[in-house]
Amino acid sequence: MPYGEWTNGGIPIGGMLQMNEQFGDAPPCWMPYVHVADCDATVAKAKELGGESMCEPTDIADVGRFALFQDPQGATLAIVTLTMPEE
């Protein structure tokens, strides 16, 4: 699906996609991401501490790897490990 990306000085700082039928009844929203060193390890630790995966670690072409999970109290968190361009 098309994904628009914003950069600042060549560094990715945000992105946006158009919602479609895959999103069901979810309302339009903003979802901040927390940058982590290792997406897979972070999700594994969250699960170990009682979190529930809402989207397993997934690659995003030319961006990195992201995941979404929920803590035991129901709060959601999106994380990403960015693939930075080689200099």
Going from the first residue of the chain to its last (87 residues), give the mean pLDDT of each consecutive group of 10, the final group possibly shorter.
Answer: 82 82 86 92 95 94 90 92 70
Look at the chain and report how many structural domains it folds into: 1
Q: Are 66 and 39 a contacting pair, CB within 8 Å?
A: yes
State the residue range of the domain holding 41. 30-87
pLDDT at position 85, please? 57
Asked, for residue 52, whether it belongs to a domain, the answer is yes
pTM of structure: 0.74
Q: Is 6 helix (H, G, I), strand (E, B) or coil?
A: strand
Asked, for residue 7, whether it belongs to a domain, the answer is no
The Cα 86–Cα 34 span in angstroms is 22
Integer angstrom CA distances of residue 3 from 16, 44, 60: 6, 27, 10
pLDDT at position 87, please? 47
